[in-house]
């Protein structure tokens, strides 16, 4: 019996909605999105209509106010159909939560209703072309200018960059202060001086619409500030545990979908006069997949439970992301292997999930960064 996290009745109902939505609105189109390099903006709006946005936004602001466990379960279901689609919604949802917590009343009124309906899509701009794992090396500048700021620089590897409307841009306002000098601004993508870069041509995961933005003298005022110096970078890092747990949940969803398909396939396919499912080598490969799937699920939802209980989840989140993304890459490949060459077909979920599993090893801190976090805690350095 697979482990199931404890959810409230409301959370379980939303997770069931996500399962049905994934089966009816996402899975039938995911292969085409990948093949044609499509960013599924219309499906995002349908997800909003189905009540699958604003999961972490308080009810007082029009959201669902779910626990991290409940939200993770929803995104697991969506990722089982298409991880890039699920991750785009996570980034959008996280920005809404940030605005709900830290935005001014004017910002909340102006942005949240349209964002909850996915009429406007939000994204998070921290990473830059010259910086990857070193999140403190922000080179994009917010230069003081005539009572406001002038934004100059470039951001890279931005989720939903192809169609995002609302950009939370982290920029260095005082280089001498290091990370303490970083500010966060809310910038409309259509503002003069903002230009898109990409979307990138990747090995997979094109439904994410990953790309970048350039800022050439973009004028900003106090009304555009979401988080001031001292607070901005801390806020960016404060949600990293939740982000890593979500990656663990999405990895679980992809492994589960790949295993389900592989089991169905080997029960039907014949070789040498027998079902493929009757060969012990195949049986043992799939048993190993299930073991790593269950371990990933336990690590992920244990970390989520710690966050929901208000306890330190940094190590638990790092363990979950590290193990689940490694397991997903290995075990999804095993699911493809038992399907033979047919496992390579783009319409098969495992073929798409394999590239997405690799994406999971980079986002929200690469695997090696998780080892840095764990080693520091373990050794006290």
What is the pLDDT confidence band of residue 114, given thresholds at 50, 70 and 90?
A: very high
Return the pLDDT at 131.
75
What is the model's pLDDT at position 289?
98
Asked if pLDDT for residue 65 goes beyond 70, the answer is: yes
Question: Residues 169-194: pLDDT tens digits?
Answer: 999 999 988 889 999 999 999 999 99
Is pLDDT of 3 > 90?
no
pLDDT at 99 over 80: yes
Residues 6+ apart with CB under 8 A from 366: 132, 133
Per the CB < 8 A criterion, the answer to whether 186 and 166 are in contact is yes
Other Cβ atoms closer than 10 A to 59: 10
- Write out pLDDT tens, residues 296-342: 999 999 999 999 999 999 999 999 999 999 999 999 999 999 999 99
Diameter over CA atoms, the chain: 80
> From CA 189, how far away is CA 195, in angstroms rounded?
8
Single out the residue of 298, 295, 352 nearest to residue 326, CA to CA. Answer: 295
Contact 138, 126 (CB under 8 A): yes
pTM: 0.94
349-381, pLDDT tens digit by residue?
999 999 999 999 999 888 999 999 999 999 986
Mean pLDDT across the stretch 133-139?
A: 77
DSSP string, 45-88: HHHHHTT-S-TTS-GGGTS----HHHHHHHHHHHHHH-HHHHHH
Give the per-residue pLDDT at 239: 84
SS3 210: coil
CB 162 within 8 A of CB 203: no
Q: Can you tell me the distance from the alpha carbon of 4 to that of 324, in angstroms, rounded to the nearest whole number? A: 16
Q: What token pair was written down for 253?
A: 């969803």
What is the predicted pLDDT for the residue at 346? Answer: 86
Q: Is 89 left (phi over 0), alpha (psi -120 to 50) or beta?
A: alpha
How far apart are alpha carbons 291 and 248 in whole angstroms? 15
- Report the range of poorest mean pLDDT among 49-63, 120-134, 293-307: 120-134
Report the DSSP beta bridge partners of residue 196: 213
Q: Are 305 and 69 in contact (CB under 8 A)?
A: yes
Please state the rounded mean pLDDT for residues 14-22: 98
Average pLDDT over residues 139-166: 94
Give per-residue burial for 300-322: e unless 16+ CB within 10 Å, then b. bbbbbbbbbeeeebbbbbbbbbb
**Tokens in use for 128?**
């830059």
Cα 17–chain centre separation: 19
Categorize the per-residue pLDDT at 237 as very low, low, confident or very high, splitting at 50, 70 and 90.
confident
Query: Alpha helix (H) ranges present in 103-239?
Result: 105-116, 231-238
CA 169 to chain centre: 18
- d(CA 367, CA 186) in angstroms, rounded, equals 30
Residue 93 scores a pLDDT above 90:
yes
**Residue 274 scores a pLDDT above 80:** yes
pLDDT, residue 132, reads 65
Non-local (6+) Cβ contacts of 287 within 8 A are: none
Phi-psi region of 54 (alpha: psi -120 to 50; beta: other; left: phi over 0): left
Q: Which whole-number Å values give the CA distances from 286 to 74, 96, 280, 289, in the listed order?
A: 25, 39, 10, 5
Specify the pLDDT at position 1: 58
CA-nearest of 137, 151, 228, 236 to 195 is: 151
pLDDT of residue 133: 65
Mean local confidence (pLDDT), 113-142: 88
Mean pLDDT of the chain: 94
Using a pLDDT cut of 90, give the percent of the chain over it. Answer: 87
**Quick one: tokens of 29?**
């189109």
pLDDT at 181 (0 to 100): 93
Report percent pLDDT > 70 for the chain.
Answer: 99
Dist CA 302 CA 58 (whole Å) = 23
């Amino acid at each position: 019996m697979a482990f199931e996290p404890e959810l409230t009745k409301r959370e379980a109902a939303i997770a069931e909605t996500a399962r049905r939505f994934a089966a009816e609105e996402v899975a039938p189109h995911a292969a085409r999105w990948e093949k044609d390099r499509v960013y599924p903006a219309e499906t995002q709006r349908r997800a909003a209509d189905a009540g699958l946005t604003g999961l972490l936004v308080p009810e007082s602001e029009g959201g669902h106010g779910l626990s991290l466990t409940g939200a993770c379960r929803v995104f697991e279901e969506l990722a089982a159909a298409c991880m890039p689609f699920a991750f785009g919604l996570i980034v959008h949802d996280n920005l809404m939560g940030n605005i709900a917590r830290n935005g001014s009343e004017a910002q909340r009124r102006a942005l949240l209703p349209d964002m909850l309906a996915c009429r406007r899509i939000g994204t998070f701009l921290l990473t830059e072309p010259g910086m990857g794992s070193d999140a403190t090396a922000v080179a994009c500048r917010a230069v003081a200018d005539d009572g406001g700021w002038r934004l100059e620089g470039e951001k890279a590897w931005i989720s939903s960059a192809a169609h995002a409307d609302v950009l939370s841009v982290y920029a260095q306002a005082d280089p001498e202060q290091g990370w303490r000098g970083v500010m966060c601004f809310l910038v409309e993508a259509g503002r003069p001086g903002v230009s898109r870069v990409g979307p990138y041509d990747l090995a997979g995961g094109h439904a994410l619409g990953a790309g970048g933005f350039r800022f050439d003298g973009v004028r900003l005022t106090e009304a555009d500030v979401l988080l001031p110096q001292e607070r901005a970078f801390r806020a960016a890092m404060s949600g990293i545990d939740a982000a890593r747990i979500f990656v663990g949940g999405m990895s679980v969803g992809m492994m589960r979908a790949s295993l389900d398909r592989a089991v169905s396939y080997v029960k039907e396919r014949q070789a040498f006069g027998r079902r493929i499912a009757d060969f012990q080598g195949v049986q043992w490969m799939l048993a190993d997949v299930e073991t790593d799937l269950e371990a990933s699920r336990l690590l992920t939802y244990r970390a989520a439970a710690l966050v929901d209980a208000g306890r330190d989840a940094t190590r638990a989140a790092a363990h979950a992301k590290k193990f689940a993304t490694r397991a997903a890459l290995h075990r999804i490949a095993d699911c493809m292997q038992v399907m033979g060459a047919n496992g390579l077909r783009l319409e098969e979920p495992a073929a798409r999930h394999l590239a997405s599993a690799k994406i999971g090893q980079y986002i929200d801190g690469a695997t090696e960064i998780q080892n840095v976090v764990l080693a520091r805690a373990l050794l006290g350095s």
